[in-house]
Amino acid sequence: MAHIYVKAGGTATGSGGVYSSQKTGSWSTAFNNTSEYYNAIWDIIGSYPTPQYNMQPGDIIYVSHLHYLNISVSGAGVSNAYMPSSSKLLSVNDSNITSLLEGAWENRDCYWTIPGFSGCYIYGITWMAYEQLYLMSANPFTIWDTCTLSNNLVLGGDNNSTRCYGYNIFKNCKFDNYAILLNSGNAVFINCIFTLLSGSYGYIFRLYNDNYSNDWGVDVHLVGCDFSNCNRPLYSAWVSTTNDIPWNYSNVVIDRCNFHPLPTRAVGFTSTASVTFQDSADTVTYSSHNLPNGSIVSFSSISSTTGISINTNYYTRDTTSNTFKLSLTYDGSVINLVNNGSGTLRISKVTYSSHNILNGSIVSFASITTTTGISINTNYYTRDSSTDFFRLSSTLGGPAITLVNNGTGTIKLTPPVRKAEFSKITNGSMIESAGVSLCETSDVYHYYEGYKYGNICADLEVYRDGGAKINGTTPYSLKLYAKNTISVEGSFINKAKFVKFKLAEFIADFTEFVEFTVEILQPNSSLTLKKSEVWIELFYPDATSSKSNKVTSKEYILSNTLGTAYPFSYESWQGLTGPVKQSITVSTNVVGKEGLCIVWLYCNVPSRFFYICPKYHLKKVT
């Protein structure tokens, strides 16, 4: 293992700054003259010009924390860098070069700067680049600790044919960037601070993919990070998107992060709308109404048509773009309309173009003009959410509030759900991506996982009695929301796209048969969940081999309408009135051994949300 030393002003060439043992003391006592150390980090890791010394795996570069060097490169070109696996690049205290101290600063003034590091450790270095700094690495991860990275940072890359992954873990780092561009690989950010400079990019994280046809996948985990100085949405909607997570993200986890306060957005309030009634088809015509099946509606006036009455609640069913039918109960029989006619529908909707707010989100309004029935600075729950509007309720899953008079206002977004786990958010905040607005207010806990076809977050308001608790005190549940992009591919329902997430991971004894049960909950009047729509898979160790056994609750059928519903549960829950309670159970069918068990939960029902108690039942059965 070689020990290599760098400080601005050094004049070493060849192997003049390389030693077989580590230096001690201060920089001034360890070196007699400048010829004993190199001038630039780039002298060692750069491929152009030819490096002074060819590093080997395990070598360590020590850079004085007083190192400050700007390397001017004529013309806009590309500068490649390389460090072998297991090597280290460390900023050390100039007064005691055996101790770490951040501060070493180096800039390569060229268009593209490309460090190719795999399985390396970098501490305390400030990296600058004139235009873009590409971080390309393969497994194992390269760890960046207490570093500062500036200008446009690109994780991974490609040249339309070759994939270059970016596997990086950033700990306690600072990012002074125009944007962080994501191409391929995995990135974990732990306790990092982000300060975005002004520039052409309007997002903190932006997709970067030269080969748009490849769905490569970028995993991003943000843990304990501070975005309070970044007045921008977190993710861009550039390239193709699938609701809230762009198409080449495969996993986004946001945990204990602080965000910039959310600005208000202009909205409109629509109290009523004119409709017509058709006798022959028993339909109500309302152009581009966007009402989903199961919406509750009423009429303030009805002319000519009979079979329905004013000021009476009805449920919508058989909705199309411009029409719907009526029923007295959720998913009940169609009401027979007699005579064509017209009327006034109490629509009571909030109009907000491309809002991406989920049902069950909490919203409030900073201003309201003309419209009555709601108040400013009061929390409401969203329901009947569609692309450009939603309705309001005073309680989660409750009836829609009647708005009086059309009007305008400004909305303040608060959490879609109250998220649990870990640290408090200290100020108002927002995460906005292509299809999700995720926000926080003070004294709200924060946890969120986003996937291509849905997301999961923890909810403090809905929970099972005797269920999971945060730190043994605060009860919570997990809320799963499946996006409307889930769809059946092919003739069999088991080929559908689905949300998949890890529900549990634990060590247990499987030398006897074991039964695993998880409790789930839906709002009042929800359709029962079937074994073909939501299911769990349990993997446990085989008794004689290193492989695992699998059992599943899934039912393989041609159509969900033919599926078997899960049994009702008698467990007690808080937070919803008259909810639909069910339980999912699987039992092992082959004897195993003691070891790690993993449980996955799946959902292939579009636009459905439900609650899961993360405290499961596990018992031995005979």
> Is the predicted pLDDT of residue 434 greater than 60, yes or no?
no
Ranges 6-15, 92-101, 264-273: which has the least confidence:
264-273
Query: Could you give phi then psi for residue 410, rounded to 5 degrees?
Result: -125, 135
Q: Bigger pLDDT: 177 or 547? A: 547
Query: What is residue 606's predicted lDDT score, i.e. its pLDDT?
Result: 79
Query: What is residue 438's predicted lDDT score, i.e. its pLDDT?
Result: 33
Query: What is residue 443's predicted lDDT score, i.e. its pLDDT?
Result: 30
Query: What is residue 507's predicted lDDT score, i.e. its pLDDT?
Result: 86
Write out 437-486 in H/E/C secondary structure.
EEEECCCCECEEEEECCEEEEEECCCEECCCCEECCCEECEEEEEECCCC
d(CA 275, CA 284): 7
Query: What is residue 491's predicted lDDT score, i.e. its pLDDT?
Result: 35
Q: Where in the chain is the domain with CATH 2.60.120?
A: 493-620
Element housing 273 (H / E): strand 265-278
Query: What is residue 471's predicted lDDT score, i.e. its pLDDT?
Result: 66
Give the rounded percent of residues in the chain with a pLDDT score beyond 70.
74
d(CA 385, CA 352): 10
Chain centroid offset of residue 379 CA:
24
Mean pLDDT confidence for 442-454: 55
> Is the predicted pLDDT of residue 444 greater than 90, yes or no?
no
Ranges 9-13, 225-229, 323-327: which has the least confidence:
225-229
What ranges make up the beta strands (E) of 73-171? 78-83, 88-93, 96-100, 104-109, 112-117, 121-123, 125-129, 132-135, 142-145, 148-150, 152-155, 157-158, 163-164, 166-171
What ranges make up the beta strands (E) of 542-594? 548-552, 573-574, 580-587
For 45-89, what is each residue's pLDDT tens digit?
Answer: 876 567 778 889 999 999 999 999 988 765 555 667 778 888 999
Query: What is residue 214's predicted lDDT score, i.e. its pLDDT?
Result: 46
Q: Bigger pLDDT: 527 or 41? A: 41
> Is the predicted pLDDT of residue 510 greater than 60, yes or no?
yes
For 371-399, what is each residue's pLDDT tens digit?
Answer: 999 999 888 888 887 778 888 988 877 78
Tell me how long the chain is: 622
493-620 maps to CATH 1.10.10: no
pLDDT tier, 424 (very low <50, low <70, confident <90, very high otherwise):
very low
For 173-222, what is each residue's pLDDT tens digit?
Answer: 998 766 676 666 778 888 888 886 555 455 577 655 544 444 455 677 88
Tell me if the pTM is above 0.85.
no
Give the rounded percent of residues in the chain with a pLDDT score beyond 90.
34
Query: What is residue 465's predicted lDDT score, i.e. its pLDDT?
Result: 92
Query: What is residue 283's predicted lDDT score, i.e. its pLDDT?
Result: 95
> Is the predicted pLDDT of residue 433 greater than 50, yes or no?
no
